[in-house]
């Protein structure tokens, strides 16, 4: 890819640079996050989005917050760090990578203090930044591995449907759901991608089509309510989507509209694949009914761009995600393996393998 969704610039007093995805596809601009508040707002308002990218961004966000801890003792610095992590964790509730990354940074910091009780706070900050960069690097490798593990699913002349954006814009690397497509392109496989527009915020139309077309992949955007008709006409061979949280039994939370696609796919006997890193699994949740679903502002539905399309006083229902039952999923593509036996036992085994 010829762009970076996010990257760290400088040392422990550096800053996080990220693409402002709210402005795509009409304008390419970047946000310079020099403090944790700017990053929080970027996550909350979807300038930075996609479960893996949010996780990487959150790790760097703690580094931003720790710029205010330079003069603190190690014990005070840990308290300061925890406050920053708690603040970031309140930005969005569904994508588990956010909480996974923050917990990993906290554990790294606590272990450093345990091993180096007399160290300076700057040494602690260097340790945290190093771990954030490691999370970033591993995310890139994770994407490549998902691409490799999903490549075999894309046959010559395949017609693929995807929903929302689970590509390079949603990760530090080449993406999750789009990673097998990029791998197939590199392998010289000919295929076509249909992209759901993904109402209400049009992440498919604005983001996925933007990055796929930039990569030279044959791309067609369609309205969300057209997918079933395409399936009935035999125009879809497989569906690949991303995930924001996967329960222990394989039930998967992803962008609203994913559940409907899975039902249609099952009816038409079309393989339905979920692509996600093992960090997206939440084994503490027995099934998908326990996944918290973010409810967003009704203005996202009642207005199209700056034009109001719903009468005043009408209630709006706007969940950002829905949950696809494991029974509707053909396989889950992870960086470790292709999970075709979607059972608690097999999921736990693959998650334990990790990256």
Dihedral through CA 202, CA 206, CA 29, CA 184, nearest 10?
A: 130
Whether 352 is a known active-site residue: answer no
Cα atoms found within 13 Å of the Cα of residue 100, Cβ hemisphere only: 23
Radius of gyration of the chain from its Cα atoms, rounded to whole angstroms: 20
Report the DSSP pairing between strands 303-304 and 245-247: unpaired
The token duo for 18 is 């990220």
d(CA 267, CA 251): 18
The token duo for 245 is 């949280």
Catalytic, out of 139, 244, 251, 322: 244
C-alpha of 206 from chain center: 16
d(CA 183, CA 204): 20
DSSP 47: S
| Of 255, 278, 277, 140, residue with least CA distance to 202 | 255
Q: For the chain, give the number of residues.
A: 355
If you search the block for the tokens 């604005």, which residue do you land on? 206
DSSP-derived 3-state class of residue 110: helix
If you search the block for the tokens 């272990």, which residue do you land on? 111
**H/E element, 75:** helix 74-89
Phi, psi of 129 (to 5 degrees): -60, -40
Question: Catalytic amino acids?
Answer: 244
């Amino acid at each position: 890819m010829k762009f970076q969704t996010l990257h760290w610039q400088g040392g422990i007093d550096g800053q996080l640079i990220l693409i402002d995805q709210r402005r795509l596809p009409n304008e390419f601009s970047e946000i310079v996050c020099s403090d944790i508040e700017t990053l929080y707002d970027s996550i909350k308002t979807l300038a930075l989005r996609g479960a893996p990218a949010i996780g990487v961004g959150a790790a760097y966000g703690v580094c931003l917050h720790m710029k205010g801890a330079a003069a603190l003792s190690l014990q005070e610095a840990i308290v300061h760090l925890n406050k920053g992590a708690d603040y970031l964790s309140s930005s969005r509730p569904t994508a588990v990578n956010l909480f996974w990354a923050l917990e990993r940074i906290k554990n790294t910091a606590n272990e450093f203090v345990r091993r180096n009780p007399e160290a300076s706070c700057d040494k602690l900050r260097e340790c945290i930044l190093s771990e954030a960069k490691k999370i970033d690097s591993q995310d890139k490798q994770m994407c490549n591995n998902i691409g490799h593990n999903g490549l075999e699913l894309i046959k010559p002349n395949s017609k693929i449907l995807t929903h929302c954006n689970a590509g390079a814009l949603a990760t530090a690397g080449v993406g999750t759901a789009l990673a097998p497509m990029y791998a197939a392109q590199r392998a010289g496989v000919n295929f076509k991608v249909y992209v759901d527009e993904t109402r209400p915020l049009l992440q498919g139309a604005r983001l996925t089509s933007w990055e796929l077309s930039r990569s030279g992949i044959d791309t067609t955007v369609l309205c969300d309510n057209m997918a079933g008709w395409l399936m009935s006409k035999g125009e879809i061979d497989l569906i690949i989507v991303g995930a924001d949280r996967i329960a222990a039994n394989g039930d998967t939370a992803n962008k609203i509209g994913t559940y409907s696609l899975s039902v249609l796919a099952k009816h038409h006997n079309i393989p339905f694949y979920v692509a996600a890193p093992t960090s997206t699994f939440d084994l503490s949740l027995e099934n998908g009914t326990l996944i918290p679903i973010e409810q967003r502002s009704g203005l996202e539905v009642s207005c199209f761009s700056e034009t109001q399309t719903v009468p005043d006083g009408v209630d709006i229902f706007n969940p950002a995600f829905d949950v696809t039952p494991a029974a509707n999923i053909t396989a889950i593509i992870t960086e470790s393996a292709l999970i075709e036996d979607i059972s608690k036992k097999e999921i736990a085994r693959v998650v334990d393998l990790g990256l």
